[in-house]
Structure 1
Amino acid sequence: MTFAFRAALAASAIALVAVPASAKQHQVKMLNNGASGLMVFEPAFLKVAPGDSVKFLATQKGHNAEIVAGMTPGPGFKGKINEEIVVTFSKEGLYGYKCLPHTGMGMVGLVQVGKPVNKGSATAAAAKLPGLGKKRMTALLAQAK
């Protein structure tokens, strides 16, 4: 076997080895006023891969990000007011979250990790949200496919 042939064979073998994609970090801003109105998360809907993380940015004061009860297939999270938190999502499904002081004003968001395997239970939990939070979360759930 010639050196050139062995080198080509080795290069081909290396090219066939699957390299796992690295996890990404996404950002969500907590805002008093955004493109979609008052008291919003931007973006309000994110579709991410298992292993990705989301950093909730305290862009404007007076907000937090925490899981909505019943809207998570995995561990929940709860940030303090004005606290930036990073959440890593490892389990597939829908994760509904809210700003506790402004849920009724519609400050809610949704992260879809992989497939929306818990859409039924997430929809049932969203129906219990107060005021505009329920309306906005219902619209976000419609984006989950």
Structure 2
Amino acid sequence: MVQNGTKRSTGARSRRGFLRTVGGVTVGALAATPATAQSGGGTTHTISMLTEGGSYYFDPIGLHVEPGDTVEWVNESGQHSATSYTSDNPRYDGDRRIPSGAESWNSGVFEESGATFSYTFEETGTYDYYCIPHRTLGMVGRIVCGSPGGPAAENEFPESDSPQGTMPSSETIVEEGSLEWPYVPTTDHGGPPLLFWGGVGALGATSAYLFTVYDRASGRYSTPDLPGNE
């Protein structure tokens, strides 16, 4: 169910933190989305829309809700929209990426900081959405209502709209509940940052060994022909 957008003061909400890079290793933190109970029994979750430097993003990028829950998008900075991947919406004419029984939505482009838009999720499944001005710059998000399902869960994310960072899978969103932007998946090897630095270390060790072999083969360290060494 789509609900009309409203305006509110800029200072009413502060942007939530996101992953920082410290000492060459990216540290991920999973933060719960601010949520409040509704009189009807559902819960309201908040997603921020932000511009920061050269980045445009929704935070959290992945969110799990239950049927009857409402999501409120808040325009913290920049000019953004929250728009479902459906053919009736602006600047998208591709395949539908929300459940077949769900109502599409479009907040329109907010130009004022503090503007809000709400949508109540009723159909179970996976919902992908985007920002009209910044879709092709990777400003996209994913919400799973109840359990994964529908075209967004069954098909790859549009390559032209590759998110800034990585789009979490529907299953990961259900498992974690809320995933901050930028999402960086972890692996059994300690995640991409540790794999990177491990690779750098292995390359450095190999290079040092080959240099040593070459240096010794050059004769640089051979014993000079001195009297008495014959």
TM-score by length of 2: 0.47
Tell me which amino acid in the other structure corresponds to 1:97.
Y
Q: 1:113 to 1:44 in 2, by over 3 A?
A: same
Q: 1:111 to 1:127 in 2, by over 3 A?
A: closer
Structure 1 equivalent of residue 69 of structure 2: 52
- How many residues align? The count is 120
What is the alpha-carbon distance in structure 1 between the residues aligned to residue 146 and residue 161 of structure 2?
29
Structure 1 equivalent of residue 58 of structure 2: 41
What is the alpha-carbon distance in structure 1 between the residues aligned to residue 133 and residue 67 of structure 2?
29
Tell me which amino acid in the other structure corresponds to 2:172.
Q
Aligned residues of 2:126 and 2:153 also touching (Cα < 8 A): no
What is the alpha-carbon distance in structure 2 between the residues aligned to residue 142 and residue 40 of structure 1?
21
1:54-107 per-position Cα deviation (integer Å, ceiling 9, x unaligned): 001011131111001311111110011115210000110011010011112111
What is the alpha-carbon distance in structure 2 between the residues aligned to residue 129 and residue 141 of structure 1?
17
- Aligned partner of 1:71 among 54, 74, 97: 97
SS in 2 for 1:80: coil
1:102-145 per-position Cα deviation (integer Å, ceiling 9, x unaligned): 11211111110001122xx21566533514339744x3446245
2:42 pairs with 1:23? yes
TM-score by length of 1: 0.71
SS in 1 for 2:162: helix
What is the alpha-carbon distance in structure 2 between the residues aligned to residue 111 and residue 123 of structure 1?
11
- Runs (4+) off by over 2 Å: 123-129, 131-137, 139-145
CA RMSD, aligned part only? 2.5
SS in 1 for 2:108: coil
Q: % of aligned pairs identical?
A: 27
What is the alpha-carbon distance in structure 2 between the residues aligned to residue 127 and residue 99 of structure 1?
15
Q: Mind listing any 5+ residue stretches in structure 2 that lack a counterpart?
A: 1-39, 87-95, 175-230
